[in-house]
């Protein structure tokens, strides 16, 4: 399946999602979910019979599958300091809003963020020695994610 996702990525597709009928589609831009389907903001391709390969994707998913992250094409070392992200340490925890500090590939918890939602500017004002915390999972936050949590 990684080979298929790599092919889709090379063709310009960045997201994969399944509609309520079980059809899987690849999207060039991040789609928006409505009552029955993911609405494309740009070119979309239905994967037809290949939909069976994506049994791990469900209509109930709140976010489409990010192909770049799945195939390792996203380079976290290039994410700028203070970038808004969502983090957690296991798949059952809710996402927490943080600001990205850096990525440490050699760690089991490679995503380092400023503590308690601080930024590089506001963390200077706290007296604590600890200014960062490490996380196992991380994704880029959308524009309004902080208000949704």
Q: Report pLDDT for 82.
A: 94
Dihedral sign for Cα atoms in the order 25, 41, 95, 141 = positive
- Give tens-digit pLDDT for 19-33: 888 889 999 988 888
Q: Report pLDDT for 145.
A: 61
- Secondary structure letter of residue 32 according to DSSP: E
Q: What is the full DSSP assignment across 44-96?
A: EEE-GGGGGGGTT--TT-SS-EEHHHHTT---GGGSPTT-EEEEESSTTSPPE
Q: Which residues of the chain have pLDDT under 70?
A: 1, 143-149
């Amino acid at each position: 399946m990684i080979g298929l996702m790599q092919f889709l990525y090379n063709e310009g597709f960045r997201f994969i999602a399944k509609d309520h009928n079980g059809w899987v589609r690849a999207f060039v831009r991040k789609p928006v979910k409505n009552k029955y389907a993911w609405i494309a903001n740009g070119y979309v391709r239905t994967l037809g019979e290949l939909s069976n390969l994506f049994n791990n994707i469900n209509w109930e998913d709140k976010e489409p599958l990010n192909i770049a992250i799945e195939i390792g094409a996203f380079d976290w070392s290039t994410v700028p300091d203070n970038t808004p992200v969502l983090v957690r340490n296991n798949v059952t925890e809710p996402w927490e809003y943080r600001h990205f500090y850096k990525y440490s590939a050699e760690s089991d918890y490679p995503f380092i963020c400023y503590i308690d939602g601080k930024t590089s500017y506001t963390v200077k004002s706290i007296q604590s020695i600890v200014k960062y915390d490490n996380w196992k999972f991380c994704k880029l936050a959308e524009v309004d994610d902080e208000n949704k949590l």
